[in-house]
Amino acid sequence: MSIAAYKVLHLLGVMMIFFALGAQLLRAQIGEAAQGVSKAAAGALHGVGLILALVGGFGLLAKLGTGFEGWVWAKLAIWIFLGAATAVIKRAVGLRAALWFALPAIGLVAAWLALYKPF
């Protein structure tokens, strides 16, 4: 696959992750009254997004010939956090409001790491 295809795959995965996390946060805050927000659909979207982001990201690393530098490890840590975020949303009721601001900030940090590769 080309570099552009891996970028598109990676970005599609990232969009799916954040869309699913937003849906899960909304459902958790509204409760069972959220008629149109399917828990299973949001969970599936989140899981598929995680896989696509990982495959696209590692495909890009392979195509670009980049090793496991510090910024790659930081992005992997962010990926693990985003994977665990569904459990945080479900169990840590007190953190839900903070996640509305923390998740976009984490996305910003991930984008900054990918663009500037600071370490």
Average model confidence (pLDDT) for the chain? 94
Residue 1: predicted pLDDT: 93
71 contacts 112 by C-beta, under 8 angstroms: no
Residue 30: predicted pLDDT: 84
Which range of residues forms the domain containing residue 48?
3-116
Q: Supply the pTM of this predicted model.
A: 0.92
Closest CA to 22 of 6, 46, 5: 46
pLDDT digits (tens, 9 = 90+) for 44-58: 999 999 999 999 999
23 contacts 116 by C-beta, under 8 angstroms: no
CB neighbours of residue 9 within 10 Å: 20
Residue 83: predicted pLDDT: 98
- Total tally of structural domains belonging to the chain: 1
pLDDT digits (tens, 9 = 90+) for 105-116: 999 999 999 999
pLDDT average, residue stretch 3-19: 98
* Paired tokens of 57: 């990201």
